[in-house]
Amino acid sequence: MYFVVLVLLYCIISMVTYPIKYLLIQLPEGAIRLAVEIDGSEDEETIAKIKDIDPVMVFIGISDNLSQLHASRRIFEIFKAQDITVPAIHHYKTTASDSSELALELGTKVGSLLTDGNGDGILIEQVGDTNFSVEFLRNTGFSLLQGCRMRNTKTEFVSCPSCGRTLFDLQETTAEITEATGHLPGVTVAVMGCIVNGPGEMADADFGYVGTLPGKVDLYYGKEVVRKSIPNEEAVDSLVDLIKSYGMWKDKEEEEVEEEVAVAA
């Protein structure tokens, strides 16, 4: 039986395929850490040997001829039975060329596993003619982790689905608010089209943006109205000022610098 092995040589990562019996003896010369990849076709006895190898992490890259969900759940059941606590990263290979299609794939095939506590992260690999940028894949991966409540890296938005009572262009307004405030991890902003259901649906948000009259918006802090009847054209700037007044604001430049330092570290 073979595992795909990532051998970490200081800052260089090389991928080598080794029979598992060799890995149980010693690491390849010069290697200081290793990561193991399994594809779901291994038997329980083979997967159990991961505990003896003691890798820094396990990549789960399910074979194309197996069900992503069923094979992954089987692996995690074996991990639980064998008391294997090594961090597990979903190695998802995609041929999707449309961003919406990719989002649906990740949500159904990986997100459902992560929300159940099966896995610690995701690695997205493009296969074939796909050509997403590294930045897009990075943001998509972090968005998935945030949606699964695993890591908060940006503002959380709550929005109503829109109906006949909506008093502004919900999509356009939400995009504008996202552009202005989307860099604030730990902050939740609710965008609600009307006063009827909005306050109840956004009860857990830090800040609320609610249509109250044609052309007018009320702003909330928690469940309390703090600014009333603000003209639509001024409401986004007023929301930014409100977030600042409660000490929850960071400039975009400051956030980017902190992120770069974190990555470099």
What are the pLDDT digits (tens) for 244-257?
Answer: 999 999 998 654 54
pLDDT in tens, 88-119: 999 999 999 899 999 999 999 999 999 999 99
Within 8 A by CB and 6+ apart from 255, the residues are 183, 184
For residue 217, count other CB atoms closer than 10 A to its CB.
27
Name the nearest CA neighbour of 189 among 197, 200, 178. Answer: 178
**Tokens in use for 4?**
């795909």
**Tokens in use for 97?**
């060329």
Backbone angles phi, psi at 41, to 5 degrees: -90, -10
**Cβ 165 vs Cβ 193: under 8 Å:** yes
Q: What single letter denotes the amino acid at residue 162?
A: S
pLDDT in tens, 193-239: 998 878 888 878 999 999 999 999 999 999 899 999 999 999 999 99
**Tokens in use for 194?**
């009307």
Full-model pTM? 0.74
For residue 254, count other CB atoms closer than 10 A to its CB.
11
For residue 16, the Cα-to-chain-centroid distance in whole angstroms is 29
pLDDT at 133 over 70: yes
- How much of the chain exceeds pLDDT 70, in percent? 84
For residue 108, the Cα-to-chain-centroid distance in whole angstroms is 13
Within 8 A by CB and 6+ apart from 149, the residues are 115
For residue 101, the Cα-to-chain-centroid distance in whole angstroms is 16
